[in-house]
C-alpha cells in the first residue's frame, strides 16, 4: 500500500556519512525540523547504483538549498558502505559521496517502506523462506515533509535508474503549494504558472495554455 499522505515509518540505524564517519541515524531527528529525500537502492558494489548515488551527490547542494536532507539506504552492512565509500570511482567505488548511507542490515526498514523485493514466509515443512525477486531493496524514493508525512513516493524495478531532476521538481512543486496554495499541473516546473484548485481555476489555466 502507498505511504503517500501517511506518516513515514521511523527508524534508527547505523549510517556512514562524509565518506567514513559512522553514526546512528534517527529519522525522528528531522521531524518538525527538515524535509527528507529518502532513497533506497539495491546493493553496494553494483552497476546502476553508483550512477544514481553520484547523481544525487551532484545535486546535493540544490537539495540542501531547498532545505531537504538527502539520505540513501540499502540492505548492506555499514562496513560494506564504508568500503564502497572509500573505493575510488575508477575502481567501481563511490568515493566523494557525502550524504549518509543507512545500513538496513535486518531489512526491516525496506519492509516497512514496502520496497523489499519479496516477502518471508514458511514452507510446508515449517522452514522460513524468502519468496520474490531478491531480498534487497527496489529503487524506492520518498519525499517526507517537515511534519514527517510522505508527500511523494516512487518505486523502480532493479534495472531502471532514477532521474534525480524529477525529485527536485517534486520538492519545488510541494514548496509552491505550501507557499501559494496553488496546485501544479502536468509538466510544471518552478517559475511556471500554477492554478487554483477550482473548476474555474482549471478552466482559466487550460484556456491559456
Domain co-membership, 171 together with 187? yes
Q: What is the pLDDT of residue 20?
A: 86
> Where in the sequence is the domain holding 193, given as residue range(s)?
163-209
pLDDT digits (tens, 9 = 90+) for 159-180: 999 999 999 999 999 999 999 9
The DSSP line for 35-100 is EEEEEE-S-SS-SHHHHHHHHHHHTHHHHHHTTEEEEEEESS-HHHHHHHHTS-GGGT--TT--S-
The CATH number assigned to the domain holding 141 equals: 3.40.30.10
Kindly report the number of other CB atoms within 10 A of residue 204's CB atom: 14
**Within a domain: 88:** yes
Segment-wise mean pLDDT, segments of 10 residues, the chain, 209 residues: 97 94 96 97 97 98 98 98 96 96 98 97 96 97 98 98 98 98 96 95 93
**Do residues 145 and 196 share a domain?**
no
| Number of domains comprising the chain | 2
Would you state the pLDDT for residue 19?
85
Residues 194 and 98 in one domain: no
List residues with catalytic annotation. 49
Amino acid at each position: 500500500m502507498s505511504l503517500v499522505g501517511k506518516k513515514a515509518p521511523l527508524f534508527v540505524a547505523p549510517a556512514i556519512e562524509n565518506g567514513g564517519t559512522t553514526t546512528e541515524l534517527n529519522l525522528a531527528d528531522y521531524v518538525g525540523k527538515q524535509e527528507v529525500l529518502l532513497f533506497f537502492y539495491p546493493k553496494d558494489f553494483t552497476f546502476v547504483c553508483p550512477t544514481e548515488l553520484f547523481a544525487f551527490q551532484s545535486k546535493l547542494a540544490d537539495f540542501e538549498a531547498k532545505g531537504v536532507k538527502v539520505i540513501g539506504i540499502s540492505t548492506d552492512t555499514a562496513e560494506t558502505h564504508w568500503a564502497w565509500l572509500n573505493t575510488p570511482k575508477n575502481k567501481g567505488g563511490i568515493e566523494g559521496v557525502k550524504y549518509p548511507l543507512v545500513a538496513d542490515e535486518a531489512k526491516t526498514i525496506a519492509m516497512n517502506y514496502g520496497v523489499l523485493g519479496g516477502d518471508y514466509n514458511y514452507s510446508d515443512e515449517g522452514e522460513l523462506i524468502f519468496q520474490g525477486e531478491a531480498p534487497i531493496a527496489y529503487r524506492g524514493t520518498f519525499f517526507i515533509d517537515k511534519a514527517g508525512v510522505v508527500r511523494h513516493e516512487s518505486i523502480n524495478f532493479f534495472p531502471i535508474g532514477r532521474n534525480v531532476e524529477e525529485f527536485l521538481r517534486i520538492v519545488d512543486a510541494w514548496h509552491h503549494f505550501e507557499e501559494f496554495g496553488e496546485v501544479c499541473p502536468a509538466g510544471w516546473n518552478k517559475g511556471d504558472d500554477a492554478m487554483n484548485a477550482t473548476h474555474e481555476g482549471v478552466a482559466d489555466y487550460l484556456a491559456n495554455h
